[in-house]
Amino acid sequence: MASEVQPAAGLPVPGTPTELRRDVSVWGSFTWGYADVGADVYVALGLVMGAAHGAAPLAFLAAGCVYILIGFAYTELASAYPVAGGGQYYCLRGLGDIWGFIAGSALLLDYTIDIALFAAASAGYINFFFPAIQQFSIDLGPFQGINLLWAAESLLLIVLLMVLNIRGIRESSLFNSLIGAVDMVMEGSIIVLGFLFAWRPEKVVYQFQNEFPSTEQFFYAVSVAIISYVGLESISQAAQETRRPATIIPRTSIALIFVVLLFALSFPVLSLGIVDWQTLAERESDPVAALASAIPYVGFLAGQAAAVLGATIVLISANTGVMGASRLTYSMSEFHLLSPWFNAVHPKYRTPVRSVVFFSGVAAVEAIFSFLSGPKAMDTMVNMYAFGATLAYFLSFIALIALRIKDPYTPRPYRMPFNIKVKGYYIPVLGTVGALATVGMLGVVIWTHALGRIAGPGWIILWLGIYFWYRWKNGLPMLRSVPRDWEKDQIAILTSAEEFDLLEQYKLALAERNKKELKHVTK
Amino acid sequence: MIAQIHPLGAAIALFFVVSLFSILWWMLHPPLYIPAAAAKARRSVFAVKKILVPTVGLPYAERGVELACRLGSEQGAEILLTYVVEVPRTMPLGIPLPEAEQEGNEALERASSIVKLHGLPSQKILQRARLAGEEIARIARERDIDMIILGIRSDPGLKGELLGRTSDIILRHSPCEVVIDKLPKES
């Protein structure tokens, strides 16, 4: 049976109860992103060291420059359109249904990899206390050096997260905030104590001068370093549950950009001044714990504490993946991009049980597949992660530019700096630079990631097949977009977000436009 | 073993701590919440893009010009200054009235210099009419005026009324918001 196409698909009209509760505070919004990003640094440090050697800080810096642009773009978009869906929603609104779906499926790839990768990383940090598990490996037919125990631990954690997310996430948000704060103090302490008591600039200079990687290796490292900066997407996914999102999100996003930059640049500079890059590259599963152990006075304790915190923070990041995937599918179903089957709610726990189980299952398959690749299991997952992130970011930049032209009336509490006025529209110069940078980064990913260049596009094509099948079965346009009243939606969004000042500003802008159009018609 | 502190390492550690705390402090102090009614009031004033100020060349009217500039400065509103020469019904409307017109032009020039101080766009409108109030209401209708600011005298007129005939007509017939500015007697 063909489903009915609503003229204004999306959010509830003012006055009706909203689906998601606005329970996320300023700190909650920040830690939502930080739980993701803080964990990314834990994971990426060893991998980037392994690829960029003495030039690791440069790789983080290069990725950081692209990340700042992405951050600015997401800050503008999330504060203007404070709804769940993130990049998928912006592309849907700016570029149409099919591009919204492509961005959404790229993000789904990332969220599922996020679950698999960070569950494996969490298990890796747990194994800091169990070196025997760390060293374990077995050959299974054509697959060499598989760490079956590590794989089993990762799968167990995925199942644990799946069960937790079916039971509810209210408490996990508080847990997120607490662990986020403790982790920041811990990470900050490692950096401060490390720079004070162990860091030697001559060691950094020596490694930088004598241990420089090849160009291809360096670019590969940059594309891996970009995973340290994934997390802004999580803030925008939580936008629909954030109090006063249009006011709070620009602050939390900008704070997150600079806090993450501080951490992401401090860690490699600190590492190269304390240990050889090989030390961290060999410990790709728990690099921060290895680094903390090398700090005098507190090293004996810092190593253990960093390992415990590493295990918890990356587990929370994996949890963000489960939550992110369910919100994304919620948004995609709402806009007729995916079947409403994914939105079935558990009768007792009121959680999207099907999407939680389905995407946790996908993550488990990805984890198994990666562990089959042997000792470089995490590297294999990062291969696919970078593809999804860069594609979604690139499309989001294009959507940003398109929305500046198509929807100049929506108030933007934050605007990307540097804009030029063309035919009455403000074109973001940095947004254009960001689009070029991310498409370049996507090229680098395709060039340097042997697996990513096949698995990434393969994933998108698979989901496009599902999309066309669903649209065809329900009598919805396949290549065109479903008609929607975006203005009515925007009023509902701002009303439910209680952003009344922006609501009045929006109504005023529409009234002025209508007045101008009326004058034009009268003439 | 006692680890030696490198000055550069100490400087980086200090920079790290100061930057981190500054960013978090800024983040945790967002702007105040604006309730629905307050937002409506704020934005409705912000929506005022064309302000009409009738002047008669007297201080209370010129104060109205200053008030209009202050109300319109944030949104860069256009200030339309108007002086209406009332022609008695016993005379033809087009009769030469050089003295009255010169007085009007001088009043408009003074008002315009006030607007210039604020850097806002302005227009000077000198009109003839039988009743100034009707003419001002007509201008407001034809030019899509959002607000009329009317400076009125402090003392009651001969009949003891505070609002004169012109103000009364404007209040009754203007299509937009009217702000009346009456100063206390001493001023």
Kind plus residue range of the DSSP H or E element containing A423: none
- Mutation target vs A (from B2, B4, B5, B6; most A CBs, 10 A cutoff): B6
Option in B13, B24, B47 nearest A195 (CB): B13
SS3 assignment, position A188: helix
Pairing outcome for strands B122-129 and B78-86 = parallel
Q: What is the pLDDT of residue A22?
A: 59
Question: Which residues of chain A does B42 touch, with a Cβ-Cβ cutoff of 8 Å?
Answer: 501, 504
Cα of A507 to nearest chain B Cα, Å: 10
Please check the confidence at residue A5 and state whether its pLDDT lies above 50: no
> B1 — contact with chain A (CB < 8 Å)?
yes
Could you tell me if A22 and A243 are in contact, meaning their C-beta atoms sit under 8 angstroms apart?
yes
> A491 — contact with chain B (CB < 8 Å)?
no
Structure tokens at A285: 């599963």
d(CA A18, CA B176): 38
Q: Phi, psi at residue A508, to the nearest 5°?
A: -65, -45
What would you measure as the largest C-alpha separation in chain A, in angstroms?
Answer: 83
- B16/A195 CB distance under 8 A: yes
Structure ipTM: 0.78
Condensed to tens digits (0 to 9), the pLDDT of residues A129-150 reads 888 887 777 777 777 777 888 8
Cα of A96 to nearest chain B Cα, Å: 32
Please check the confidence at residue B35 and state whether its pLDDT lies above 70: yes
Of the candidates A366, A344, A369, the residue with the CA atom closest to the CA atom of residue A355: A344
d(CA B72, CA B50): 8
State which residue of chain B sits closest to A258, comparing Cα positions.
Answer: B23
CB proximity under 8 Å: B 106-125 to A: none
- A252/B27 CB distance under 8 A: yes
State which residue of chain B sits closest to A512, comparing Cα positions.
Answer: B47
CB proximity under 8 Å: A 174-193 to B: 184, 188, 191-192
Cα of A246 to nearest chain B Cα, Å: 11
% of chain A surpassing 70 pLDDT: 90
Q: Which amino acid is at A388?
A: G
Option in A184, A192, A500 nearest B34 (CB): A500
Beta-ladder partners of B125: B82
d(CA B38, CA B36): 6
Of the candidates A265, A232, A264, the residue with the CA atom closest to the CA atom of residue A250: A232
Condensed to tens digits (0 to 9), the pLDDT of residues A314-336 reads 887 888 888 888 878 878 988 99
> A32 — contact with chain B (CB < 8 Å)?
no
Q: What is the pLDDT of residue B24?
A: 94
Q: Phi, psi at residue A238, to the nearest 5°?
A: -90, 0
Of the candidates B82, B126, B125, the residue with the CA atom closest to the CA atom of residue B100: B126
> B32 — contact with chain A (CB < 8 Å)?
no
CB proximity under 8 Å: A 269-328 to B: 269, 273, 296-297
Rounded to an integer, the average pLDDT of B77-86 is 95
User: How many helices and strands (H and E) does chain A possess?
Assistant: 20, 4
Could you tell me if A285 and A127 are in contact, meaning their C-beta atoms sit under 8 angstroms apart?
yes
Between CA B55 and CA B63, with CA B58 as vertex, the angle to 5 degrees is 70
> A68 — contact with chain B (CB < 8 Å)?
no
Rounded to an integer, the average pLDDT of A34-42 is 74
- A273/B31 CB distance under 8 A: no
> A262 — contact with chain B (CB < 8 Å)?
yes
Cα of B77 to nearest chain A Cα, Å: 14
> B18 — contact with chain A (CB < 8 Å)?
no
- The total of other beta-carbon atoms located within 10 Å of residue A309's CB is 23
Please check the confidence at residue A89 and state whether its pLDDT lies above 80: yes
Q: Which amino acid is at B39?
A: A
Could you tell me if B131 and B86 are in contact, meaning their C-beta atoms sit under 8 angstroms apart?
yes
- The total of other beta-carbon atoms located within 10 Å of residue A459's CB is 21
Please check the confidence at residue A67 and state whether its pLDDT lies above 60: yes
d(CA B118, CA A250): 32
Place of tokens 């760490």: A147
Q: What is the pLDDT of residue A491?
A: 94
State which residue of chain A sits closest to B3, comparing Cα positions.
Answer: A197
Please check the confidence at residue B120 and state whether its pLDDT lies above 90: yes
Rounded to an integer, the average pLDDT of A154-178 is 78
Q: What is the pLDDT of residue A228?
A: 60
Between CA A20 and CA A26, with CA A326 as vertex, the angle to 5 degrees is 50
Condensed to tens digits (0 to 9), the pLDDT of residues A393-446 reads 999 999 999 999 999 999 998 899 899 988 888 899 999 999 999 998 888 888
Among A146-150, A215-219, A273-277, B106-110, the range with the most confident prediction by mean pLDDT is B106-110
Please check the confidence at residue A1 and state whether its pLDDT lies above 60: no
> A200 — contact with chain B (CB < 8 Å)?
yes
Structure tokens at B26: 């800024």
d(CA A230, CA A384): 14
Of the candidates A79, A108, A122, the residue with the CA atom closest to the CA atom of residue A466: A108
HSE-up of residue A27 (Cα within 13 Å, Cβ side) = 12
Cα of B137 to nearest chain A Cα, Å: 20
SS3 assignment, position A339: coil
Cα of B147 to nearest chain A Cα, Å: 16
Option in B9, B23, B40 nearest A255 (CB): B23
- How does the average pLDDT of chain B come out, rounded? 90
d(CA A202, CA A329): 50
Please check the confidence at residue A512 and state whether its pLDDT lies above 50: yes
Integer distance in angstroms from the first to the last C-alpha of chain A? 48
State which residue of chain A sits closest to B38, comparing Cα positions.
Answer: A501
State which residue of chain B sits closest to A192, comparing Cα positions.
Answer: B13
Q: What is the pLDDT of residue A23?
A: 59
Q: What is the pLDDT of residue A31?
A: 81
Place of tokens 């604020």: B118
> A25 — contact with chain B (CB < 8 Å)?
no
Cα of A192 to nearest chain B Cα, Å: 5
Cβ-proximal residues to B64 (8 Å cutoff; 6+ apart), any chain = B53, B54, B55, B149, B150, B151, B181
Q: What is the pLDDT of residue A15?
A: 40
Structure tokens at A288: 């921060």
- A255/B26 CB distance under 8 A: yes
Could you tell me if A47 and A382 are in contact, meaning their C-beta atoms sit under 8 angstroms apart?
yes
